[in-house]
């Protein structure tokens, strides 16, 4: 609702978004949720665009959070079944959580595109999408662990390090696949997201190769895991487009 007079105040108050123009009366401005500071209605277009961009950031963060919770819990269970031992030490779990949260927070500054149509919050569809993507990421993590067990025949401490870098690199693939519409390369990431991503990968790789807080892992294995995560991001991007199109997520 957009108005300027005292008679518009009740409607401005009741509307989900009440907009008072710059020349509106004090009563109308106090009742409105937003007050334009410049003459004309051009500010409404800018406000709608900004609101839809904010919605996209919140939606991306929500899907990423749902996916990470699913993968972390199920991968720990799957690793316990595959190895008979915990695949992450308590310290590694803390590092994974810190690295993941640090990267996820940068999504609030990410570059996104406003949708051409109004947005609607449908948590049930977001949950289904998170489940689909989470199961896909779980498959990638389990496959990497299986390679470490059966192909590389790594000892348990090295398997824990491999699980750590797999989770970190897999989370990177998930974030970049989810954020892009329609493709992961459609919108360039913000400087904060790109910087956080680079720092996350560099820190995880350095800790794993140097053997700090974990058993050391060869640079070849760490690099191969990173390359596999990049390829997985492309596969995940395809699955995301199919799932989002089916669920009507834009």
Contacts of 96 (CB under 8 A, 6+ apart): 72, 88, 164, 167, 168
Average pLDDT of the segment spanning 210-235: 96
pLDDT at residue 55 is higher than 90:
yes
Give the pLDDT score at 118.
Answer: 87
Domains of the chain: 2-35 (no CATH), 49-247 (1.20.1110.10)
What is the DSSP code string of 212-229? SSS----HHHHHHHHHHH
Q: What is the pLDDT of residue 69?
A: 84
Of the pLDDT bands very low, low, confident and very high (cuts 50, 70, 90), residue 192 is: very high
The confidence score (pLDDT) of residue 41 equals 87
Please give the Cα distance from 217 to 209 (Å, whole number).
5
- Residue 176: pLDDT band by 50, 70, 90 thresholds? very high
- The distance in angstroms from the start CA to the end CA of the chain is 25
How confident is the model at residue 117, as a pLDDT? Answer: 87
Query: How confident is the model at residue 180, as a pLDDT?
Result: 85
Is the pLDDT at 182 greater than 90, yes or no? Answer: no
Return the pLDDT at 221: 97
pLDDT score for 40: 86
Helices (H), the chain: 9-14, 26-31, 42-83, 90-105, 123-146, 156-179, 191-210, 219-247
Average pLDDT across the chain, whole number:
92
| 64-123: pLDDT as tens digits | 988 988 898 899 999 999 999 999 999 999 999 888 888 888 888 999 999 888 888 899
How far apart (Å, rounded) are the C-alpha atoms in residues 179 and 103? 13
CA-nearest of 120, 112, 133 to 66 is 133
120 pairs with which residues across the strands? none
57-64 mean pLDDT: 92
- Using the predicted structure, report yes or no on whether residue 181 has a pLDDT greater than 90: no
User: What's the whole-model pTM score?
Assistant: 0.88
For the segment 183-204, the average pLDDT, to the nearest whole number, is 93
pLDDT confidence of residue 125: 93
The average pLDDT across 227-239 equals 95
pLDDT of residue 104: 85
């Amino acid at each position: 609702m957009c108005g300027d007079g005292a008679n518009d105040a009740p409607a401005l108050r009741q509307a989900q978004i009440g907009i008072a123009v710059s020349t509106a009366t004090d009563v109308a401005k106090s009742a409105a949720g937003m007050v334009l500071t410049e003459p004309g209605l051009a500010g409404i277009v800018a406000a709608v665009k900004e609101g839809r961009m904010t919605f996209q950031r919140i939606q991306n963060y929500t899907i990423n959070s749902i996916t990470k919770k699913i993968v972390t819990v199920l991968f720990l269970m799957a690793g316990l079944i595959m190895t008979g031992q915990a695949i992450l030490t308590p310290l590694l779990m803390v590092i994974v959580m810190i690295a993941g949260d640090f990267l996820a927070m940068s999504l609030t500054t990410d570059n996104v595109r406003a949708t051409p149509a109004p947005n609607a919050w449908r948590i049930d569809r977001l949950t289904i999408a998170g489940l689909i993507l989470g199961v896909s990421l779980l498959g990638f993590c389990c496959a990497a662990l299986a390679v470490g067990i059966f192909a590389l025949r790594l000892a348990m401490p090295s398997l824990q390090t491999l699980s750590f870098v797999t989770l970190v690199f897999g989370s990177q693939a998930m974030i970049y696949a989810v954020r892009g519409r329609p493709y992961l390369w459609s919108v360039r990431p913000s400087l904060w997201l790109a910087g956080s991503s680079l720092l996350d990968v560099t820190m995880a790789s350095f800790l794993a190769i140097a053997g700090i807080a974990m058993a050391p892992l060869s640079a070849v294995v760490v690099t191969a895991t990173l390359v596999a995560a990049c390829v997985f991001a492309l596969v995940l991007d395809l699955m995301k487009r199919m799932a989002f199109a089916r669920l009507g997520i834009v």
